[in-house]
C-alpha cells in the first residue's frame, strides 16, 4: 500500500488520518518539509485556507507540493489552496490546479449542510458531502474534469494527480472518495503502478 501524508499544520487532520488508515494506507502527519520524504501522496485538510497557506510557506512545504511530483487531495480549505485563482483574494496558495474558486460561496443561508453530490465517480448510493463554509469552483481550465456538483455548482474536480473537493468526506463514514484517491490516483502514479 501507499504512504499518505496528511498536512497537519491546522484543521481537520485526525479524521483524514483515521479514514486513510482504515483503508490500509500508512499515514504520516506532515509538519515540516522533510516529513514529505518517501511519501506517495498528500491530503490537504479543511481549516482556514489563509492560515494554512501562510504556514505552508513558513515551513517551506509549499515548493515541493507545487513541483507536481506528488498526488494531492485537497478538501475544502485544501481545495482553495490548490486553485490558481481565488475570487477577490491574493492569499498565498499552491495554485497547482487550473480552477477558480470562491470562498464561503454557498452564503450565510447554507453555512453548514449535508447534501448528495451528483455525478461523483463512485458506484452505488450517491456520495454525500458535509459542507462547512465551503467554497465552490467558478471556472475550470483545460485538463480539469468536473466530477461532482451540488445545486449545479462544481464541488469536486480532478486534474491529473490532483483531486479537490469543496466538502469534508472525512466527516462522514463514507470512505469512497478517499478510496478513489488511493486507488485511481496514488496507486496509479508511475513509481507505484
Residues marked as catalytic:
76, 168, 170
Q: What's the Cα-to-Cα distance from 149 to each of 25, 116, 165, rounded to whole Å?
A: 28, 9, 10
Buried b (16+ CB within 10 A) or exposed e, 35-59: bbeebbbbbbbbbebbebbbbbeee
User: Which CB atom, from 15 or from 40, has the smaller least distance to ligand GLN?
Assistant: 15
Length of the chain measured in residues: 193
Min dist CB 133 to ligand GLN, Å, is: 4
Please state whether beta strands 127-132 and 136-140 pair in parallel, antiparallel, or not at all (unpaired). Answer: unpaired
76 in contact with ligand GLN (CB under 6 A) = yes
- Which of 28, 102, 103, 178 binds ligand GLN (CB under 6 A)? It is 103
User: Which CB atom, from 111 or from 184, has the smaller least distance to ligand GLN?
Assistant: 111
Min dist CB 176 to ligand GLN, Å, is: 20
User: Which CB atom, from 103 or from 158, has the smaller least distance to ligand GLN?
Assistant: 103
Amino acid at each position: 500500500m501507499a504512504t499518505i501524508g496528511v498536512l497537519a499544520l491546522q484543521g481537520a487532520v485526525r479524521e483524514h488520518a483515521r479514514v486513510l488508515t482504515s483503508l490500509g494506507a500508512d499515514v504520516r502527519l506532515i509538519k515540516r518539509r522533510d516529513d514529505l520524504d518517501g511519501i506517495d501522496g498528500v491530503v490537504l485538510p479543511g481549516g482556514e485556507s489563509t492560515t494554512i497557506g501562510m504556514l505552508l510557506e513558513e515551513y517551506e512545504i509549499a515548493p515541493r507540493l507545487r513541483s507536481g511530483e506528488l498526488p494531492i487531495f485537497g478538501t475544502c480549505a485544501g481545495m482553495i489552496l490548490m486553485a490558481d485563482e481565488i475570487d477577490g483574494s491574493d492569499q498565498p496558495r499552491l495554485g497547482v490546479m487550473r480552477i477558480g474558486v470562491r470562498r464561503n460561496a454557498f452564503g450565510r443561508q447554507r453555512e453548514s449542510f449535508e447534501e448528495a453530490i451528483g455525478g461523483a465517480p463512485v458506484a452505488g448510493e450517491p456520495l454525500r458531502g458535509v459542507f462547512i463554509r465551503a467554497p465552490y469552483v467558478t471556472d475550470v481550465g483545460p485538463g480539469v474534469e468536473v466530477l461532482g456538483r451540488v445545486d449545479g455548482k462544481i464541488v469536486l474536480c480532478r486534474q491529473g494527480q490532483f483531486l479537490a473537493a469543496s466538502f469534508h468526506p472525512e466527516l462522514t463514514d463514507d470512505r469512497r472518495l478517499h478510496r478513489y484517491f488511493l486507488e485511481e490516483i496514488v496507486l496509479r502514479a508511475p513509481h507505484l503502478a
